[in-house]
Structure 1
Amino acid sequence: MSKAQETCLEIDLKALKHNFEYLKSRLKPETKFLAVVKAFAYGSDASEIAHYMQDLGADYFAVAYVKEGVALRESGITKPIMVLHPQAVSFETLIVNNLEPCLYNAKVLHEFIEVAIAKKHTAYPVHIKFNTGLNRLGFYEKELDAVLSKLKSTTAIKVISILSHLAASEDLTEKEFTLNQIATFKSIAVNFAKNMGYTPMLHICNTSGILNYPEAHFDMVRSGIGLYGFGNSEKENKNVKPIATLKTVISQIHTINKGDSVGYNRAFKTEKEIKTATLPIGHADGIGRQYGQGKGFVVINGKQAPIVGNVCMDMIMVNITDIDCNEGDEVIVFGPHASAENLAAQAHTISYEIITAISQRVKRLILK
């Protein structure tokens, strides 16, 4: 890795390969692998990640919205792409781009069938989502008969998978709840197959489901955060490698006299003389205001430098009083040796939020 000369996000494809191979090692050979690349591949680079994963052998991709799927198709991705949260206004675009919708309630099921009929499709591939306890999206088990009736009334679509989402698979104190979710899903799958005369692919496991509930791998698993280097536990974090390193540089160093203030609203006032470094990264780049006032930190020459005062739109100031550094030196915001989880914890949030928040104006560097 080269030294940063500006704010940039380095994406390490070797680490991605390691994570994919580790997660695959936890599966039976016949179990398919769906790579979740929504939200710019968790804040990295969706096109680069998807192409690399396609070459590595991922079977499926998932995005949140149709626009994300279109971007992947336009970049040359040919593997199946499931859209997890499609909106009816985008159904025609979805079909034109050979994307596969996840249908989650009676309204979207009906509306998609109408569009598929209008486009004269037969057996267009769809996924049906059931809510087994997350209470976010999905049909309830009690709605299964109505779903089956609707499906039997048309040849325009064909269900190629049914899925659900585990609510607390990383929390083993919630094991009973998770096992109940899995049992409900199995019941739905059995009744679906009995009534439709065929069994679509089944999938319920996210990253922590892959690691903690091998009995629920079924036909396919879905991994997002694990691919990007976070195992959702201290134990599993040792088995995966963060793929992204957010770097910046020191633009200017100041000596701040006792009693002086730093930044907007004079939010920080010194009790003694200190030295600060100004860095070209701020809340417009994804480092939110919640990291100000000493809650967040960066790493300079191996030492933590807490953020001083309020985070600005394009800059932050950090305390370097006890750090030997110079203008132009490299700064690590997060990476393999400065965990995004640790940084996020300081602001009472999670790694998912900080890594997906990194602005698209931050330069991406792909390390191959």
Structure 2
Amino acid sequence: MPEAKETVLEINLGNLAHNYRYLRSKIDKDVKFLSVVKAHAYGSDSVAIAKKLEELGTDYFAVAYVEEGIRLRENGITKPILVLHPQFTHFEEIIEHCLEPNLYSEKILRSFIATAEKLKQKNYPVHIKLNTGLNRLGFDQPEIETVKELISTTPTLKIASVFSHLAASEDWQERDFTVGQIDLFRKMSWELIKDLEHEPLLHICNTSGVINYTKAAFSMVRTGIGLYGYGNDETVDPYLKPVGKLKTIISQIRKLDKGATVGYNRSFKVEKPSRIATLPVGHADGINRIYGKQKAGVFVNGEYAPIVGNVCMDIIMIDVTGIDCEEGDEVIVFGGPQHPVKFAEAGGTISYELITGIQRRVTRKIIPE
């Protein structure tokens, strides 16, 4: 009997635990571990993932936006939560839910100080982002003195960590640039914290940083994509296990004669008598049009079946000619026999975009460790 009854994203917590332990083994025991669970934990389920990581012993979490942190708090997550990209309008909610903001510009620093003073906070934990070359968010080196002055003149804030972000830690051709970022971070962070009465956490390593630049772990590392099974390096990927597996079923199989066409715009023409199967998944679920027209494919009973024609909103069509299958059989889109990286590459994109793009209408099924 076929296992799948609908389109399902299986979330394997055993694989998550494996990845956590592998990444943890790369750093010293006294280095803290921050788990990034933004974007629904990279397209999976942030609550289930965070609960498992808290059980495994992670020290910190990070989310992109305040609402993501609130959801974790409302579901019982107690570890510290760094909000990487907070907005002015959510500062009171940050404090209400004991979240910790990344303060990355003079304007946002002044604004959060004002909110903290209004709410009569003392030593509220905040994180200071330094720009060392990614040129996205963060204070530049000439702004360090301003940050020090603002922090020193208010009792409301306490720096919990100082951090930056590597731009190309997975690319060995950019090694000189990465080493330069690490050196600049060391200098900038020391300039910022040298007069403090406490020692904030320092972190710059992302997943590829943990793997390739272990000596730059400082006192904490941040990992996102690695936790979900991707090392940004084909030599590292075999040591990690993708957490998500996207499965669906065959809705219908149609026999077509030579010359028939399939789908919108008649974009696939049958060149010989064929069997074409329809699947209940489409670009509204995150399998975008880039995967159509035989660029990518799926696995049916262990055999590869190319996606034919244009991907529709709720349906894709696959060529199952010569494959022993019937309506109701399970289909694996990615995971299992097809690594998600390979599926993404077939469409000309990256694993990040694929896994975070699986829409919420796709049922999530949690597989315990």
Fold shared by both chains (TM-score > 0.5): yes
Aligned to 2:364: 364
- 1:66 corresponds to 2:75: no
Pairing 1:1-368 to 2, within 5 Å after superposition: 3-368=3-368
Q: Percent of aligned pairs with the same residue?
A: 55
CA contact (8 A) 2:310 2:316 kept: yes
Q: Distance in 2 between matches of 1:52 and 1:339?
A: 23
Q: Which moved more, 1:253-262 or 1:62-71?
A: 253-262
Return the alpha-carbon distance in structure 1 between the equivalents of residues 221 and 137 of structure 2: 18
**Counterpart Cα distance in 1 of 2:142 and 2:182:** 16
- Measured after TM superposition, the shift of residue 235 of structure 1 is 1.4
In 1: Cα distance, 2:256 partner to 2:134 partner: 50
Residue 328 of structure 2 aligns with an amino acid whose one-letter code is: G
What CA distance in whole angstroms lies between the structure 2 residues aligned with 1:190 and 1:240?
A: 34
Q: Is the 8 A contact 2:7 2:281 kept in 1?
A: yes
Secondary structure at the counterpart of residue 28 of structure 1: coil
Deviation at 1:141, TM superposition (A): 1.3
Displacement of 1:196: 3.2
Letter in 1 for 2:202: L
Distance 1:268 1:214 in 2: 49
| Matching residue's letter, 1:214 | T
Cα RMSD over matched residues? 1.1
**Cα drift, residue 259 of structure 1:** 1.8
Is the 1:10–1:245 Cα contact (8 Å) retained in structure 2?
yes
Letter in 1 for 2:304: Q
**For residues 53 and 333 of structure 1, what CA distance do their matches in structure 2 show?**
26
Report the Cα distance in structure 1 between the residues aligned to 2:80 and 2:336, rounded to whole angstroms.
31
Deviations 1:77-115 (A, max 9, x none): 000000000111111111111000011111111111111
CA shift, 1:173, in A, is: 1.2
Query: Size of the alignment, in residue pairs?
Result: 367
- Which segment drifts farther, 268-277 or 216-225? 268-277
Cα distance per residue 1:262-317 (max 9 Å; x no partner): 11122222222221110000111110111111112111111211111111111100
Q: TM-score, normalised by structure 2?
A: 0.97
Q: Secondary structure at the match of 2:191?
A: helix
- The aligned amino acid for 2:6 is E
Letter in 2 for 1:70: I
With the length of structure 1 as denominator, give the TM-score of the two structures: 0.98
Instruction: Give me the whole-angstrom Cα distance separating, in 1, the residues matched to 2:360 and 2:3.
Output: 21
Q: Deviations over 1:212-264 (max 9, x none)?
A: 00111011001111111111111111111111110000000011222221111
Indicate conservation of the 8 Å contact 1:246/1:332, yes or no. yes
> Which residue type is aligned with residue 281 of structure 1?
V
**In structure 2, what is the Cα distance between the partners aligned to 1:128 and 1:322?**
59
Matched letter for residue 365 of structure 1: K
- Looking at structure 1, the residues matched to 39 and 14 of structure 2 have their Cα atoms a distance apart, in angstroms, of 21
AA at the equivalent of 2:360:
Q
Runs ≥4 residues deviating over 4 A: none
Per-residue CA deviations over 1:29-78 (Å, capped at 9, x if unaligned) read 10100010000001111000000110110000000000000000000000
SS at match of 2:235: helix
Instruction: Give me the whole-angstrom Cα distance separating, in 1, the residues matched to 2:337 and 2:272.
Output: 31
CA contact (8 A) 1:148 1:196 kept: no
State whether residues 251 and 327 of structure 1, in contact with CA within 8 Å, keep that contact through their aligned partners in structure 2: yes
Partners of 2:78 and 2:197 lie apart in 1 by: 30
Question: C-alpha distance in 1, partners of 2:197/2:96?
Answer: 29
Contact kept, 8 Å, 2:206 with 2:223, in 1: the verdict is yes
Distance in structure 1 (CA, Å) of the matches to 2:343 and 2:318: 14
SS of equivalent to 2:94: helix
**Counterpart code for 1:53:** L
Kept in 2: contact 1:189–1:199 (CA 8 A) = no
State the 1:197 CA deviation. 4.4
